[in-house]
Structure 1
């Protein structure tokens, strides 16, 4: 992670307080947003092994890079760094790796004893990385062996401490508590597995005796040892969460309160025990009580964010069902932590310290991100998720993210990016194509003032101008974004994609081709899409016009199916569409696509971009009229009806932009009435009905629009 000099410098420096750590992280974040990416990482790197915030922000930056490069080595590096971030939160574990080498009567330090319980989790983390990096059965078995190794070490410790040769020194109670935690945790956890799976695990050497596990954990929790808190924590989780969620919802409040009592007396302001005291009151139906133990609360927020980002990497890197389930469990665990933190910080007894704004920003990001993201799911899936305890309230999510973005905190950038993505991409691509430019510009303004050459904010400023139809202004901003920094080429790729579409709207096919060509050579996100667009732009040029770089559209179209890839286990819908459209170029007798660029532009809601600029719409209409003329002059072929309907649909959109609503309606109806004649492009009929319904809504014909939408759903 760092060179020797940096590591020594970090080790020789005094530990940072939470406030000092946050101040330095904010300085590093300023460097990052001013395009000094390397300096930002250099500032964070020396303390990633001692400060959870340095580790978290460092891992977040690397993960952002991994998400954009989509390089396996970057994803692997991000996974390793995120694992290290979790390890920092849990501090140092016992150094000795082999129990047989331990001296008789050797005592363990407080830090080591606290870290001992982390050993099993360290093994599990390595197992998880094995599953992430490779999906084959051999790797799955290797991961399982790491888990078993963790259990065997606990078991060996247990046997060792019960032997006559074990010299029970003054620190033995702490060692005994650690062993009780390990053996008890395995037994209690495995007892929750289905009987058939448990039998297989017992055959492999594990034990899943619930009562024995609970008794060990109770012994560990009630003894005065350094592991009593962890033992109590696990038992309290079982009594106040697992028995509630997996059982009848009652929990075992009496046992939980008995266990909590001595800890509450000894640690009256201990955040963990105040939390579980609040949880027991919640189960009993009373309000949660809590005080402020700031360091623990920040650790919870960091841990939840680590879990969430590791889950994202899991979905990206591995497509099998086991990894999907594991990623889902990480997501749910993260959400529950955020939910409890949110409730806690809103209580009257929460003391807001000097770093509270950062904690509040982290919680706003977590809860807001969950609500906004889940609100985009189909209603049926959302109902299932809400039944499982999640929330998908879009307005609530946006309000929390707005609060997080407008505050001066460590998560304000992440909150702002998520909201900007929603306003300028999701609402455009998944909605009617309008976006919410006003809100995006309000949110961007303070960031543009603070980071005038920040590539991220230049990019989003360009995107807002593009949505408004100011294509030339958008091009200038995207080009500025490319010039602003050279360290991360992935920012350039984002700008290239938008520049490609901006030149498409202007019908500058050669410039659009230039950016598609750059993307096909430099970006890994969707090579099939980039090559398809290259071929599409060439096909828009006159037959007698020379092609750039000697490329041939037919050869390029034929390459498209060979470049298919999967993201999170699925091929992107636009990539599937491009592959289907390119298939007709495989035939010996090629039938050319009439307007492939305009058709793909429709898939990305591009016609809404040009609706504010009449001259751009007029240009597109000219292209469509010329394509229609060519079709009328061509002989009857199997794709003829499909191609005519494509042109009718796109002409209808242009006519709608021009305010010629009756003519637009006629075009959409022509597609619908051709339903039985369409052989290949069956998407045209439901899409034409949707466009017609939107036209009716604009005219105030709501009832007719609803009928059409119902019809589109079942076509």
Structure 2
């Protein structure tokens, strides 16, 4: 009995202590609330004072107009810091609205407002019909005074800062609408605050390197891509990965939940960085580069494959959950799996992501996946063996489907997928003869893309460039020249795009045998481009010689071999061989230089884009040749021209003569190899077995000749199309 009484008293003592602690906590909480209320009142007073002073300034400077604004306090840190910030797409009553002329004076302070002003500039650049305004929305974590000092905190529905995605997409749109400098400034100024902005900055360098092919640009882009990879995965490295793998410390559930979208986005950026590095590494065209590039591709492929499967499964689970709820709402409400009001598929712990976020991530993955598939499907046979050894192969159709999916997504790379598709249909398909003799096969696809997307990029120099490519494939070279010149004017200040347009202008004039216009374009390319002075010097030499300026042509031909920068560069190797050979040949003549011009047009697979009058003019050049030592080349070109004119019998006759005249020669091996290919393309429909035999001869008999990779890719594509028939 005594022990029971003691127990009851002991229990009451514990309860008193607990109640006392609760009272202390309640008092501390109430005092903190009072302090916060005082601080809020002080902030509201300061805001009112700022508003009054701002209103008085407006009355002094603009007495004829009156505007009532509710200014938002400047943010204390950058937009893409640890706190998430949302940028409203529409302007509401609580936004600060300023015109372009007064925004710089009325908004000052933190990096957040700076970025918002940039976004307004981006909007004006991407949509000229919209007046330039700056809108500032409420940020999560920021407290706004409402209704007598009460506070309200806004927050984003997802763990990932979606304003970052929007601004990155705006930067890409700015890039494609001739705002290259502004886009670069936007990405560079925030690349240390966000992996996505860091990826945008490095991608711009990658794009510059790919358009210019300059060694300095390539090295700079590779270094930037490696920095982006490290930014997204600071624990990268063999030993760090092993340590992390075998570490006993596990991530908390909250850490996993908050980082799900961020983790996927970072992994996609890492895979993209590896893919871009591989593409740039392949440009060196040597065995070590092929091995290194293949290894980078394998690493990227593993990430793409895993993420594609993971995101697809989450989307599928989301669809099943939604279907289950629509069919049985009562049972769904009692289920462990539910769909939230904002369309987020959750498992009770909020581990899943919203459907729109998953669709954006899938579009982001598909860009790299599609680019990967297209690149691998068009590599030369030598590299293809290495790629097959590494355990993957390219599927061109799968790559096109993936890029098409991305082009309609809300990811920042959607416009880039559009450019990738246009590049494939207007450049790669005809150059590598992916459709056999049908060089115009990509025209309908390219025209559809341009028609559907041109309003989003009304003044884009790149869209003008691709429109020019479409008309070139249509053999409308005069109109394509007009478009290239327009693109050159619009792209003023964007060096890489200017050089691309200049190159096409030079080549269009070369196909028309307009030597003076060619000289102007190629002279500027030689001076301004750092890619290959050897190649542009060779083009200048043949143009000077064709005009009759033999001395200038001979002097430039002498310089060409000394300008070679890479022995593995097939174009420089070809130009050097030709220039060296001219030292032992008879004096350089206008007729010979004109024939060498036609050889370039043929090797670049540009004859199918020439009109009949242009082709007839080229035949006259061939007929003017008198030196029998170059008749094998003359006959090859005559055969190819007659084939394009539809004169099959004459084409076969000249091509067989080219093979006969080359027999026994040790140089110009490419003449015999290309003659076999031209003959096989003639027999492809009527005698497929003979066509296959000629293509096999190319692969087995001829090695180490000029443009071997270029021809074997075309031969492999034709063999692939003939196998069912054969």
| TM range, smaller chain | 0.5 to 0.7
Query: Is 1:709 matched up with 2:695?
Result: yes
Shift of 1:540: 1.8
1:71 and 1:655 map into 2 onto residues whose CA distance is 37
User: Quick one: distance in 1 between partners of 2:457 and 2:232?
Assistant: 31
Distance in 1 (CA, whole Å) between partners of 2:384 and 2:286 is 22
Are 1:437 and 2:434 an aligned pair?
A: no
Query: How far off its partner does 1:664 sit?
Result: 1.3
Contact kept in structure 2, 1:358 and 1:411, CA below 8 Å: no
Find the aligned partners of 2:680 and 2:294 in 1 and give their Cα distance. Answer: 37
Which of 19, 27, 31 aligns to 2:174? It is 31
Is the alpha carbon distance of 1:186 and 1:586 closer, same or farther for their aligned partners in structure 2, counting shifts above 3 Å? same
Per the alignment, residue 625 of structure 1 pairs with 623
Match of 1:375 in 2: 377
2:48 — aligned with what?
Answer: none
| Aligned residue among 317, 337, 341 for 1:349 | 317
- Correspondence 1:315-354 to 2 at 5 A: 321=288, 326-347=292-313, 348-349=316-317, 351=345, 352-354=354-356
Maintained 8 Å contact 2:190/2:198:
yes
Aligned to 1:98: none
Contact 2:294 2:390 in 1 (8 A): no
Which runs of structure 2 are paired with 1:306-317 in the superposition (5 Å)?
306-314=273-281
1:419 is displaced (CA, Å) by 2.4
Residues matched between the structures, number: 511
Contact 1:66–1:78 (Cα < 8 Å) also in 2: yes
Match of 2:581 in 1: 584
Query: Is the CA contact 1:526–1:575 (under 8 Å) kept in the aligned structure 2?
Result: yes
Show the counterpart of 2:501. Answer: 495
Q: Cα offset for 1:703?
A: 2.3
Q: Deviations over 1:246-282 (max 9, x none)?
A: xxxxxxxxxxxxxxxxx7xx5797599xxxxxxxxxx
Scaled by the length of structure 2, what TM-score is found?
A: 0.65
1:473 alignment partner, SS class: helix
Once the two structures are TM-superposed, the CA of residue 496 in structure 1 deviates from its matched residue by: 1.2
Change in 2 beyond 3 A, CA 1:310/1:271: farther
Deviation at 1:709, TM superposition (A): 2.3
> Out of 399, 402, 412, which is 1:410 matched to?
412
Distance between the aligned counterparts of 2:163 and 2:241, measured in 1?
A: 40
More moved, 58-67 vs 579-588:
579-588
Partner residue of 1:53?
196
Aligned ranges for residues 180-579 of structure 1 at < 5 Å?
Answer: 186=239, 218=246, 220-221=247-248, 223=249, 228-229=250-251, 266=253, 270=257, 293-314=260-281, 321=288, 326-347=292-313, 348-349=316-317, 351=345, 352-378=354-380, 381-382=383-384, 385-431=387-433, 432=436, 434-435=439-440, 436-541=442-547, 543=548, 552-566=552-566, 571-579=568-576
Structure (1 or 2) with the larger CA radius of gyration: 2
Deviation at 1:327, TM superposition (A): 4.5
Q: Is residue 40 of structure 1 aligned with residue 183 of structure 2?
A: yes
Q: CA RMSD in A?
A: 3.1
Structure 2 CA distance, aligned partners of 1:377 and 1:314? 13
Greater Cα offset, 459-468 or 306-315: 306-315
The secondary structure found in structure 1 opposite 2:624 is helix
Shift of 1:468: 1.3
Q: C-alpha separation between the residues in 2 aligned to 1:645 and 1:448?
A: 47
Tell me, in whole angstroms, the C-alpha distance in 2 between the residues paired with 1:301 and 1:621. Answer: 53
Q: What corresponds to 1:248 in structure 2?
A: none
Match of 2:24 in 1: none
- C-alpha distance in 2, partners of 1:379/1:315? 14
1:340 Cα deviation after fit: 0.5
For 1:6 and 1:84, how far apart are their aligned partners in 2? 28
Deviation at 1:37, TM superposition (A): 1.3
Q: What 5-or-longer segments of structure 2 have no aligned partner?
A: 1-73, 86-159, 319-344, 346-353, 702-726
**Is the counterpart of residue 22 in structure 1 residue 165 in structure 2?**
yes
The TM-score with structure 1 as length reference comes to 0.66
* Contact in 2 for aligned 1:406/1:443 (Cα 8 Å): no
